[in-house]
A and B are shown apart, each in its own frame.
Chain A
Amino acid sequence: MGSARNRHVTVTRKSHNDLTRRNERKTVHDLLKEYEETSRFITEGTTKKQVSIIVLCNGSTPFDEEVLGATPHITMRMEDDLLQKIKELHKENAKLRSLSLIDNLTGLSNKRFFWMQLATEMARTKRTRDSCTLMMIDLDNFKCLNDTFGHLEGDKFLEEFGRIMHNSSRSTDLPCRYGGDEFALIMPATSVTDALKTGERLKNIVADMPQKSNPPISLSIGIAEYTSFSPYSMNEFVRAADMAMYEAKGGGKNQIHIDHNWKKITFEDNEVNRDEKDALFTDYQ
């Protein structure tokens, strides 16, 4: 992990009389060292030079500003104002960043964060060899609700379903709104069997909801598993879950389908097969 003090910040250096201005890239560490030297000279009375340095937000963090701002003997004429602005900017940036990753209707993660997180989880699977499961969920008959009761009702339902997704997933899972009425659930370190249970639970909750529209909204769910044996790329993994979901829809809606490559991948020749797994698991206590 890089030390905070080794981070580069942009420094604008102004001369006394405001006649010259220089921009340079420096590390926080070097800046502090320079400050220390100058302040020593000032204390010893060997120089009358006062240095004003403006740290621009380019690359600096609130931590940097706190450290630099606390340095004595340095006049920071314009800085106070600027530091305040930088802090506000940081806050705003953080807010914007979170907004750009969260779906504002449901409060779940959005598609952008979904792809970022999926990459991480797939890499983790390669390393830990815990399989990662992906669930794609499509709301059946959602269009009917929208058309009959209006988009506000539709949005209300999406919001409610977002809450259900959030409440019924574990803290390590990542529920996302993938698009319109499509949702995704990334389940790290989860087998297809466990994912099936979660899928069933979600399906049942929606079936028990009081609903205005007829036919009522139900869930078509597709599940794909990524193991360290999987030949899937990220796109292929999502596509596999997507295809399974379309099969569920095509098969009459309100059902769960599993990616049909699953068995092939999981129990292929070199993979540990059922008998071996049984022997590995049952004989070992």
Chain B
Amino acid sequence: MFHLEERLVAENSPVIISVASGKGGVGKTCITINLAASLSEKGKRVLVIDCDLGLANIDIMLGINPRRNLKDVIFGDVDVRDVLIRTEAGFDFLPASSGVREMAQLLHEHIEKLKDIITQVSEGYDYVFCDIGAGISDTVLQFNLFAARNFVIVSKDLTSITDAYAMIKTIYRTYGKTSFEIIVNSVRDDDEGLKVFNHIDSICKRFLNFSPRHLGSIPFDEVVTRSIMKQTVLVRLFPESGAAVKINQIAHAISP
């Protein structure tokens, strides 16, 4: 039933997916661009929006140097379509600015404006990924509320699990959302990934009374670092690697 619903939605209007992690440095951005690349390889029209507004870095991961970014759309009068970039990996990309203080602490009205911009620019895409910054700022919460599907990236570290749980709890308590889908990153094998997921799942069930969905686990793979160094997406550079295979499987789970 769930899958059928998803398919119906995908055929009609864009599915907006937030990708968050609670704790920084668990591989959120890397997973986002690789899922986007994998989905566009499957023929989907995909847009990635860098919503890590104060510390954007997708452009660096992709080796592109955008002239203009979301800041110019929010604070200037640049048209959002002039900021869009078609990447070599096949998906479109809306860059944000890095190191700009105003962007890290957006006022409510700016967040609203940004949501309008995203709604407007999403037209015509199948999937829109919003890569959200770490932490539980108001901006992070707002984007999670706005998105139809909420991906949460965790690693096996207890701090990452605790922070992911803290974020899930906050969003659930504030907005009543239960649409969380967990991706466990940097695991030894599937068993370890499942163990991490089951741990989060049991605590969500016990204290919040709902179960998140397990989207999959991605093994630790040294080619990930190499793909980042080469500023190319992993699924294109090392499509046979363990991590790339898993990412493709997750992409299939997102869009069967």
Measured CB to CB, the residues of A under 8 A from B are 126-130, 228-229, 269-272, 275-277, 279-281, 283-284
Contacts and interface: CB of A to CB of B under 8 A. Distances in A.
Contact of B135 (A126, A270, A276, A279): A126
Interface string B165-184: 11001100110000000000
Interface residues of B, number: 24
Contacts of B203: 276, 279-280, 283
A128 B23 contact: yes
Nearest to A125: B135
B162 A277 contact: yes
B194 to A, nearest CB: 13
B219 interface: no
Interface string B110-153: 00000000000000000000000011100000000000000000
Minimum-distance CB pairs A-B, first 5 = A270-B170, A272-B166, A127-B24, A284-B199, A228-B135
Contacts of B199: 280, 283-284
Contact of B173 (A126, A228, A270, A279): A270
A38 to B, nearest CB: 32
B39 interface: no
Nearest to B196: A284
B169 A270 contact: yes
Greatest chain B CB density within 10 A among A127, A128, A129, A271 is at: A129
Nearest to A271: B166
B211 to A, nearest CB: 15
Given A128-B25, A129-B22, A270-B170, A280 B162 contact: yes
A277 B23 CA distance: 16
B161 interface: yes
A74 to B, nearest CB: 34
A163 to B, nearest CB: 34
A128 B165 contact: no
Contact of B159 (A127, A129, A269): A129
B92 interface: no
Nearest to A228: B135
B86 interface: no
A279 B199 CA distance: 9
A275 B206 CA distance: 11
A227 to B, nearest CB: 10
A130 B22 CA distance: 12
A229 B169 CA distance: 14
Contacts of B169: 270, 272, 276
A284 B207 contact: no
Contacts of B136: 228-229, 270
Nearest to A283: B199
B158 interface: yes
Contacts of B159: 129-130
A154 to B, nearest CB: 43
B50 interface: no
A126 B135 CA distance: 7
B158 A280 contact: yes
